[in-house]
Copies of this chain bind each other. A is one copy, B any other.
Amino acid sequence: MLNIGDVARESGVSVEALRYYERQGLVAAPDRDDNGYRLYRPDAVARVRFIKRAQEVGFTLSDVKELLALQARPGASCGDVRMRAAGKMREIEGKIATLQRMKTFLEAWTAQCVDAAPAERCPVLDALKNDETD
């Protein structure tokens, strides 16, 4: 059995984050030792790593909660999971597109920049004063 600090170390998150996950219902509240310390079964580490990896590919904690619920629900199908993943992909693609648009504008503007020119005649500032970005 593991103390919260052990789980934190092995899963690479902070002790505070673990208590936070418990409050949010992402990790089941473990049994307590006589002194009140949380006592985790070793598989808790796997659960926390699941959460961490899901976050790394863009799922919010509330998304993760749904995924964990699917995982636990008998009768849930792979398609249910794929739908969530596909939705997240579309979300990510939207963000990439937005960022790409920003980058394109900045590229176009800075390309016209002559470093030594005074700021009063800066193409970037001019663009911000006059252009439509949408």
Q: Which of A2-10, A21-29, A33-41, A85-93 contacts B (4 or more CB under 8 A)?
A: A85-93
Judge whether A78 and B129 touch: CB under 8 Å.
Answer: no
Chain B residue at smallest Cβ distance from A114: B78
In the complex the two chains form, what is the Cα distance from A121 to B93 in whole Å? Answer: 27
Chain B residue at smallest Cβ distance from A64: B128
Judge whether A105 and B57 touch: CB under 8 Å.
Answer: yes
Number of A residues whose C-beta is below 8 Å from B?
A: 56
Shortest CB–CB separation between residue A74 and chain B, in angstroms? 8
Q: Which residues of B contact A127 (CB under 8 A)?
A: 53
In the complex the two chains form, what is the Cα distance from A119 to B89 in whole Å? Answer: 19
What are 27 A-B pairs with beta-carbon distances under 8 A? Answer: A46-B129, A49-B129, A50-B128, A57-B102, A58-B106, A67-B125, A70-B119, A70-B125, A75-B118, A77-B117, A77-B118, A77-B119, A77-B122, A78-B114, A78-B117, A78-B122, A81-B113, A82-B110, A82-B113, A82-B115, A85-B109, A88-B106, A89-B103, A89-B107, A92-B102, A95-B95, A96-B99
Chain A to chain B: the 4 pairs with minimum beta-carbon distance, closest first: A79-B115, A76-B119, A78-B117, A78-B122
Residues of A within 8 A of B (CB): 46, 49-50, 53-54, 56-58, 67, 70-71, 73, 75-82, 85-86, 88-89, 92-93, 95-96, 99-100, 102-103, 105-107, 109-110, 113-125, 127-129, 131, 133-134
